[in-house]
């Protein structure tokens, strides 16, 4: 049982899970809306909201902290200079999950994750 466990393992090792979340975070920053499985979307929501909160300051240290997690210069710049200032007056809740369909191959529940 996983009572109060804290995070979803998503059937991956910790390094694979970290790489997956990093790549999904880069995708949502680049395209602002992605479709993925529901458990991945729910796990990514906390990850991306922490990044946006950190980027809201907009200073050099925010750039460094975000780049340390994303390892992508273009997405870091877009997050700190374009996306994060839009949420300056908002205390969390930067993303929205919309359930869409079940995937035909394995019946996985799919969802859109988008920036509000």
Structure confidence by residue, pLDDT tens digits, 85-99: 999 999 999 999 999
Tokens of 58: 């907009």
Domain 14-115 has CATH 3.40.309.10: no
Residue 2 has pLDDT above 90, yes or no: no
Estimate the share of the chain in helix, then strand, then coil, as percent rounded to the nearest 5. 55, 15, 30
In the three-class reduction of DSSP (H, G, I as helix; E, B as strand; rest coil), residue 112 is classed as strand
Report pLDDT for 4.
Answer: 83
pTM attached to this predicted model:
0.92
Report pLDDT for 1.
Answer: 82
Average per-residue pLDDT in the chain?
95
- pLDDT digit string, tens, across residues 66-82: 999 999 999 999 999 99
Q: Which of 96, 87, 100, 99 is nearest to 115 (CA)?
A: 96
For 19, 44, 68, the CA distances from 13, given in Å and listed in that order, are: 10, 16, 20
């Amino acid at each position: 049982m996983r009572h109060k466990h804290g995070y979803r393992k998503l059937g991956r090792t910790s390094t694979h899970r970290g790489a997956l979340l990093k790549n999904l975070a880069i995708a949502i920053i680049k395209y602002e809306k992605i479709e993925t499985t529901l458990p991945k979307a729910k796990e990514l929501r906390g990850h991306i909201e922490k990044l946006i909160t950190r980027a809201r300051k907009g200073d050099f240290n925010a750039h460094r902290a975000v780049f340390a997690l994303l390892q992508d210069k273009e997405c870091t710049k877009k997050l700190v200079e374009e996306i994060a200032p839009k949420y300056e007056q908002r205390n969390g809740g930067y993303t929205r999950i919309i359930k869409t369909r079940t995937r035909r191959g394995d019946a996985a529940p799919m969802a859109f994750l988008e920036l509000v």
